[in-house]
Amino acid sequence: MTDFGVTEDGFVPKPVDQILAEAFDRARAVFADVDLTATSPLRKILEVTAAEDGELWKRMEDLYFGNFVSTAFGDDLDLLGEDAGLARRNLPSAGTVQFRLDGAAAGRVYTVPEGAILVTAPPVRAFGTTAPVTLTAGQNTATVQAAAFEPGPGGDVPKSAIVDVDPTYRAAFLADFGAAKLTVTNPGPFSGGTGVEADDSFRARLAGLARNLWTVESVAQAALGVTGVLDVVVSDPRGGVDVSQSFFGSFLFDQRAFSSDARRIGEPYFFTVLVAHDLRAPWHTTGPVQGVFERVGAAVDAVRPVGVHPNVVEADHIQIGVRATVVVEAGSDGTALLASIRQRLADVVATQRLGGDVLYSQVVRAFVEEPGVVDVRGLHLRRLPPAFGRITFGAVPQQSAVAEAAVGENLHMGRNELAVFASGGDALDITLVAS
């Protein structure tokens, strides 16, 4: 007989037909001449009780798998997180804001970048735009989505709570607006701050939770716990070449004893924490929004050993796009389909880790699995030039224009690069044609 319940292979629930067969056997053992035909009242009673017992077995299976991070969900996953001291994160509040530009110069285009910091009246709540905004004298109003920098219900502000662009941000990034006056408000309330992250996201964080301090994993975990951080790579944690020092690359191996350059006890030691973050979150503190650099430094300080100091470095965020001709079904809504394709592409690229290549096959799949798409032709993956002044390992090729891979080729990322989706601009060129 097959073992049921907790076995070496996990939990095996007993099927209803097995439960019913055993009930029939017990009935035959008790009654000498029992009627178990399809119309028998006793059979109907046994079928009902077997169905109830089957539901109990299902519940026992849920209880068993609820003890493991990889299989738990819902409240069971919350309890596992509570045992480990890790709670679900709240989601950031989101809503729509409206910009208005008065006194614009004729023929000039004014751009408010993605991630523009918007603030409420005191007590200040900070929000960031999720897309760039273009304004002109003829088109002086525009709406765009915005999200709170700090997750949680504090961002659920009412209508007209957002009153201005942060003065520090305005002075740093919008100073060229000159005499033109930019105003902003939210025409409706913001919501979503009471929501919590999905099971898959929480499970991934819980599975990677470091169980001890002063390890590579604990440092990475502390940095990943910072709002806005997408990925982290910790390098040189146990010794080796310290690339942050001025004498890196100048050691005279044929003239000096290697041991004479070793650090003495008490001298500081540095390791690198390479951080990829949401581009809407500022790297350094800007106005009321604390920068990712400062947040990561404070988080890592809580778990680093004494005398071992982090060198927090911003990763290169490489914008990725495509050029392709997409054959769609006749009568398809081109605007809606294009928006859906862009979202699918953004989801594909968002799964990348630092140094992870963008695979051609994944991008093709994002196209062809979209309802209404018949075929995709001439698909080229594209990358915009990297942002310089961050960190590089080895030579970085100078790029003055969009780099385009051949059909079928993947886009290879450096170990200090993170692929991010470019929703518009030069990197995205998708043409829809009817079949």
Assign 155 to helix, strand or coil.
helix
Three state DSSP letters for 52-117 = HHHHHHHHHHHHHHCCCCCCCCCHHHHHHHHHHCCCCCECCCEEEEEEEEECCCCCCCEEECCCCE
* pLDDT of 111: 93
Q: How far apart are CA 47 and CA 44, in angstroms?
A: 5
Task: Give the model's confidence band at 399: pLDDT under 50 very low, under 70 low, under 90 confident, else very high.
Answer: very low
Our measurement of the distance from residue 403's CA atom to the centroid of its chain's CA atoms, rounded to an integer in Å, reads 25
* pLDDT of 238: 45
Nearest to 163 by CA among 195, 119, 123, 194: 119
Low-confidence winner among 3-7, 266-270, 310-314, 336-340 (lowest mean pLDDT): 266-270
Q: How far apart are CA 182 and CA 193, in angstroms?
A: 27
Our measurement of the distance from residue 417's CA atom to the centroid of its chain's CA atoms, rounded to an integer in Å, reads 16
Nearest to 129 by CA among 281, 289, 316: 281
**Single-letter amino acid code for the residue at 75:** D
- Partners of 183 in the β-ladder: 100
Q: How far apart are CA 104 and CA 422, in angstroms?
A: 28
Residue 264, pLDDT above cutoff 80:
no
* pLDDT of 39: 86
Residue 268, pLDDT above cutoff 70:
no
Nearest to 353 by CA among 294, 272, 275: 275
Nearest to 114 by CA among 142, 136, 139, 155: 142
Task: Give the model's confidence band at 147: pLDDT under 50 very low, under 70 low, under 90 confident, else very high.
Answer: very high
pLDDT, mean of residues 176-181: 91
For residue 406, what is the DSSP state? P
Higher pLDDT, 383 or 117: 117
H or E segment at 235?
strand 229-235
Residue 7, pLDDT above cutoff 90:
no
Instruction: Give whole-number Cα distances, 177 to 170, 288, 332, in Å.
Output: 9, 22, 41
* pLDDT of 421: 87
Task: Give the model's confidence band at 31: pLDDT under 50 very low, under 70 low, under 90 confident, else very high.
Answer: confident
Global pTM value = 0.71
Give me the chain's average pLDDT, please: 85
Higher pLDDT, 260 or 355: 355
Find out whether 330 and 435 touch, Cβ atoms under 8 Å. Answer: yes
pLDDT, mean of residues 166-193: 93
For every residue of 417-434, DSSP letters joined together read EEEEE--SGGG-EEEEEE
User: Domain residues of the chain, as ranges?
Assistant: 5-65, 94-185, 210-310, 316-434
Higher pLDDT, 3 or 153: 153
In the numeric block, which tokens belong to residue 241? 């070449």
* pLDDT of 330: 87
pLDDT, mean of residues 124-132: 93
Q: How far apart are CA 166 and CA 164, in angstroms?
A: 6
pLDDT, mean of residues 399-403: 62
pLDDT tens digit sequence for 352-381: 888 899 999 999 998 888 888 999 999 999
* pLDDT of 425: 67
Q: In this prediction, what percent of the chain has a pLDDT beyond 90?
A: 46
How many C-beta neighbours within 10 Å does residue 156 have? 18
pLDDT tens digit sequence for 242-253: 445 555 555 454
For residue 412, what is the DSSP state? P
**170 Ramachandran zone, left/alpha/beta (phi>0; psi -120 to 50):** alpha
pLDDT, mean of residues 96-105: 95
19 HSE (CA, 13 A, CB side): 19
Q: In this prediction, what percent of the chain has a pLDDT beyond 70?
A: 86
